[in-house]
Amino acid sequence: MEPVLEAEGLVKRFGDREALRGVSLSVAPGELVGVIGPNGAGKTTLLSILAGSQRPDEGEVSRSPGEVGWVPQQAALYGKLTVEENLRLFARLEKCPDVGAAVDGMLEQTQLGDRRHSPVAELSGGNRQRVNIAIGLLPDPPVLLLDEPSTALDPRQRERLWEFILALSKGGTAVIYSTHNVAEAERYASQLAVLADGERLFSGSPAELEQTVGTSDLDFEEAFVRFLHDQGH
Amino acid sequence: MRWLFLKDLTILRRSPLLVALLVIYPIVISVLIGFALSAGPDKPKVAFVNEVPASENIINLGGEEVDVSKYADQIFESIDPVRVSSREEALKKVEDGEVLGALIIPADITDKLDSGLGSAQVEVIYNAEDPLKRDLVRNTIKSQVQDANAALTKRFTELAIRDLNTVLQGGTINFPIRGDVDILGLQKSREVLEQARDELPEDSPARPEIERVIQFAGLADFGLDLFPPEKVLAAVGEPIQPKLTEVEGGRTPLDAFAVAIAVTVSLMFVTLLLAAGTLAAEREENAFLRLVRGLVSKTGLLVEKIGLAAFCSLVVTLLMMCGLALFVGLDFGRAGFWVIALAAGALAFGAMGVAIGALTREVRAASLLAFMISLPIAFLAIVPSGAVSPALYDVIRVVSALFPFKPTLAALDAAINDAGSLTTPLLHLAALVAAFSLAARLALRRFV
């Protein structure tokens, strides 16, 4: 299948520190890619470069920022505006051909129609994240980037969020998400990209990661930790 | 950019506390300044005792009757007199704090003025408990007594000039006790003496004596002709006269300049806080990166924030000027110039505001920084030359030129009061808009 997004040899330096060291990635339509790794591994930097909000010092990304939906870790919304006003503003900035239809479509998709007139500041964390994602989906991108989307959500909100993301994936949208929650990576990702110290250590399915570690008596989280340890991290 | 502008206006509309601060605050300031300018300072309460009987207020100066009470009224122009009947009563009121001081006109004042010998005295009593009040009363009464003195001196001088001219040309002079006396006058005396001399025989022994008197009369006439009494006595009465020359514009009345300062201060606060705050808010709401990854350019975002802040502050300060116009006569015919000056100042402050906002991540930090920077630059911009050493003043001028307050004040002064060129401050402000916008654009680089 033709990849919907490709990144080749991405390098990012902050002063003397190399946040990314030649990371490459290839994502197919509808694929769910989980980017995992310890703190400071370069997950957010990778997603920021794929989103176009940062430029790599080396390497390139196959798609322009306008072709990629991006949902930053913290909800990038205006608290004093309502759900609908936020969606309408970004739909206009995204130059959606039919702003009204795009907004209504997103309200329906996120099941926030009954909260359309609520100020975002009054929404729960889960609903706010759904609006955050909806804004990332407004230009109807073939690829959606989610930076730790379930952080600060309770289990019920997290479950609803993943239902929403899985539905997107089934609809053909490729989703790349970073997470600290290894269980979420195992459960939902079709492909894992393991980063540590800016380097990509592994690319493959969760099952392949377990096979790489080579023991069957460990759960996935233990296998992941063992993998990092074996790789010197 | 239009949608961001409308978004910011909507957010402002839904932030009543912020709007209250940004709109009501300058309006309150303008009203306070207006009242202060139109009402003037309160007159200090001073107990007043006039021991001179009403019938003796008139003194006779060289046959002219002068009403002394007319000159005493001058003193009341700057004080609020509390009339009491005796010195003791006045003293008690001062001690009790009911009045700030007491002014006592003694009964013998008209006699002393009437005699023309020596100075008449008035007595001033004040409470020294509060140094500020003490100085206020002392300086006010001293100043007003000096004015009354000057007015009386002028009257005395006029009468003296009249009498000297009578001595020169002849006429009637009124003397105490003797009343009106006919004076021959130096000029006529000389003519009479010359006639008498001509009638004397050439060898008359009286002839040389008469000749000497004729010479004296001639010299006196010549001297008074050369140094006219009105000029000599005017010089004696007011030996030093200030000649007032204004340089560097200076046609602005104090109250109109105060309007320019009040409006500039408000323009500065509103624009700086809005520009810095709204830019910082984009990062505080985490929207900044989402916006600049292709939806809006960073330069476009800065232009939008500068425009928003300038537009809002222009509206607020125009309203403020209309409010101030109720108290101070402003020429509405120059309203077009007001708008130009306000717009230029607002854009410069807006550019400075986004430079501040670009340095900070939070609205609170941006607002605090804007507030902390604005107060010193406003203060420095109104330090007058001569108040500090020349070297320090040069430093202050350079520092003031780096910020928009001083050129905005100059532009507004020119726009409101037609004082000086409007073009120079506008060009200065345009340069500051470019410089601060560039600084803001560079500062934004560190957030990506």
The 10s digit of each residue's pLDDT in B220-277 is 777 777 777 777 666 666 656 556 555 554 455 556 777 888 888 889 988 999 999 9
Closest-CA residue in chain B for A75? B286
Tokens 């010998």 correspond to what residue? B117
B88 CB near a chain A CB, below 8 Å?
no
Measured between CA atoms, how close is B11 to chain A, in angstroms?
6
Q: At what angle do helices B25-39 and B254-284 cross, to 10 degrees?
A: 170
The pLDDT score that the predictor gives to residue A74 is 82
From B272's Cα to the closest Cα of chain A, the distance in A is 21
Query: Is B10's CB within 8 Å of A77's CB?
Result: no
Helices (H) and strands (E) in chain A, counts: 8, 9
The amino acid sitting at A128 is R
* pLDDT given at position B448: 59
Contact A77 B285 (CB under 8 A): yes
Query: Residue B281's closest chain A neighbor by CA?
Result: A78
Q: Do B285 and A64 touch (CB under 8 A)?
A: no
Who among B11, B15, B295 is closest to A93 (CB)? B295
Residue ranges covered by each domain of chain A: 1-63+142-233, 76-141
**Which chain A positions have a beta carbon within 8 Å of B285's beta carbon?**
76-79
Q: Please provide the average confidence, as pLDDT, over all residues in chain A.
A: 87
Residues of chain B contacting A146 with CB distance shorter than 8 Å:
none
Of the candidate CATH numbers 3.40.50.300, 1.10.533.10, 1.10.260.40, 1.10.10.60, the domain formed by A1-63+142-233 belongs to 3.40.50.300
User: How many interchain CB pairs under 8 A, A with B?
Assistant: 56
pLDDT at B180 over 90: no
* Interface membership of B448 toward A (CB under 8 Å): yes
pLDDT score of B254? 58
Mean pLDDT of B34-45: 62
Q: What is the pLDDT of residue B140?
A: 74
pLDDT at residue B349 in the model: 96
Task: Give pLDDT, residue B308.
Answer: 94
Q: Which residues of B touch A90 (CB under 8 A)?
A: 290, 295
Which residues of B, range 264-323, sit inside 8 Å of A by Cβ?
285-287, 289-296
Range B140-149 average pLDDT: 75
CA distance A58 to A23: 10
pLDDT class of A218 with cuts at 50, 70, 90: confident
Distance CA A200, CA B153 (A): 101
The Cα of A67 is separated from the nearest Cα of chain B by a number of Å equal to 10
Q: Judge whether A40 and A197 are in contact, CB under 8 Å.
A: yes
Chain B nearest-CA distance from A66, in A, is: 6
- DSSP bridge partners of A143: A68, A174
SS (H, E, C) chain B: CHHHHHHHHHHHHCCHHHHHHHHHHHHHHHHHHHHHHHHCCCCCEEEEEECCCHHHCEEEECCEEEEHHHHHHHHCCCCEEEECCCHHHHHHHHHHCCCCEEEEECCCHHHHHHHCCCCCCCEEEECCCCHHHHHHHHHHHHHHHHHHHHHHHHHHHHHHHHHHHHHHHCEEEEECCCEEEEECCHHHHHHHHHHHHHHCCCCCCHHHHHHHHHHHHHHHHHHHHHCCHHHHHHHHHCCCCCCCCCCCCCCCCHHHHHHHHHHHHHHHHHHHHHHHHHHHHHHHCCHHHHHHCCCCCHHHHHHHHHHHHHHHHHHHHHHHHHHHHCCCCCCHHHHHHHHHHHHHHHHHHHHHHHHHHHHCCCHHHHHHHHHHHHHHHHHHHCCCCCCCCHHHHHHHHHHHHCCCHHHHHHHHHHHHHCCCCCHHHHHHHHHHHHHHHHHHHHHHHHHC
Where does CATH 3.40.1710.10 sit in chain B? 45-156
φ/ψ region of A34 (left if φ > 0, alpha if ψ in -120 to 50, else beta) reads beta
Give me the helix-helix angle, A99-109 and A125-137, nearest 10°. Answer: 140
The shortest CB-CB distance from A76 to any of B11, B14, B290 is to B290
Query: Residues of A at the B interface (Cβ-Cβ below 8 Å)?
Result: 48, 51-54, 64-66, 70, 72, 74-81, 85, 89-90, 92-94, 135
- Is residue B62 very low, low, confident or very high in pLDDT (cuts 50, 70, 90)? low
Give B282→chain A minimum CA distance, Å: 9
- Chain B residues in contact with A78 (beta carbon < 8 A): 7, 11, 285, 287
pLDDT in tens, B91-112: 888 888 788 788 888 887 777 7
Contacts of A135 in chain B (CB under 8 A): 290
**H or E segment and range at residue A7:** strand A5-14
CA B333 – CA B317 distance, rounded (Å) = 17
B38 touching A (Cβ < 8 Å): no
Which of A45, A71, A82, A93 is the best substitution to test chain B (most B C-beta atoms within 10 A)? A93
B294-327, pLDDT tens digit by residue? 888 899 999 999 999 999 999 988 888 887 777 7
3-state secondary structure of A148: coil
**Amino acid identity of B364?**
R
Rounded mean pLDDT, A124-151: 86
CA nearest neighbour of A195 among A223, A224, A174, A220: A224
Q: Do B10 and A72 touch (CB under 8 A)?
A: no
Hey, what are A34's tokens? 């989980």
Name the CA dihedral angle for A69, A73, A78, A81, rounded to a multiple of 10 degrees.
Answer: 70
Contact criterion met (CB < 8 Å) for B287 and A78 = yes
Nearest-neighbour CA in chain B from A80: distance (Å): 6
Q: Which of A83-97, B43-57, B395-409 has the lowest mean pLDDT?
A: B43-57
- The confidence score (pLDDT) of residue B201 equals 84
Question: Which whole number is the average pLDDT over B199-228?
Answer: 81
**Mutate which: A89, A120, A138, vs B, most B CBs within 10 A:** A89
Give the β-pairing of A58-61 and A174-178: unpaired
Q: What is the mean pLDDT of residues B132-148?
A: 73
Spatial separation of the C-alpha atoms in residues B332 and B160, rounded to whole Å:
51
What pLDDT does A21 receive?
92
Distance of alpha carbon B28 from its chain centroid, rounded? 23
Could A64 and B289 be called an inter-chain contact, meaning their C-beta atoms sit closer than 8 Å?
Answer: no
Distance from CA of B46 to the nearest CA of A (A): 59
3-state DSSP assignment of residue A204: strand
Residue B154: band (very low, low, confident or very high) from pLDDT cuts 50, 70, 90? confident
pLDDT tier, A32 (very low <50, low <70, confident <90, very high otherwise): very high
Q: For A116-131, what is each residue's pLDDT tens digit?
A: 999 999 988 888 888 8
Give backbone dihedrals phi and psi of A159, rounded to 5 degrees, phi first: -65, -45
The pLDDT of residue B177 = 66
Give the percent of chain B with pLDDT over 90.
Answer: 19
The amino acid sitting at B225 is D
Average pLDDT, chain B: 81
Please judge whether A66 and B296 are an interchain contact, meaning their C-beta atoms are less than 8 angstroms apart. no
> Phi and psi at residue B244, in whole multiples of 5°?
-95, 120
Least confident window among A187-191, B110-114, B189-193, B377-381: B110-114
For residue A84, the model assigns a pLDDT of 93
Q: Which CATH superfamily is domain B45-156 in?
A: abc type-2 transporter like domain (3.40.1710.10)
Residue B136 pLDDT? 72
| Residue-level pLDDT at B131 | 67
Return the CA Rg of chain B.
Answer: 35
Mean pLDDT calculated for residue range A56-67: 86
Interface test with A, best of B293, B361, B446 (most A CBs within 10 A): B293
Measured between beta carbons, the chain B residues lying within 8 angstroms of A76 are 285-287, 289-290
Distance CA B271, CA B263 (A): 12
Cβ contacts (< 8 Å) between B289 and chain A: which residues? Answer: 48, 53, 72, 76
CA of A153, closest CA in chain B: separation in Å? Answer: 18
Per-residue model confidence as pLDDT tens digits over B419-443: 778 899 999 999 999 999 999 999 8
Furthest-apart CA atoms within chain B: distance in Å? 126
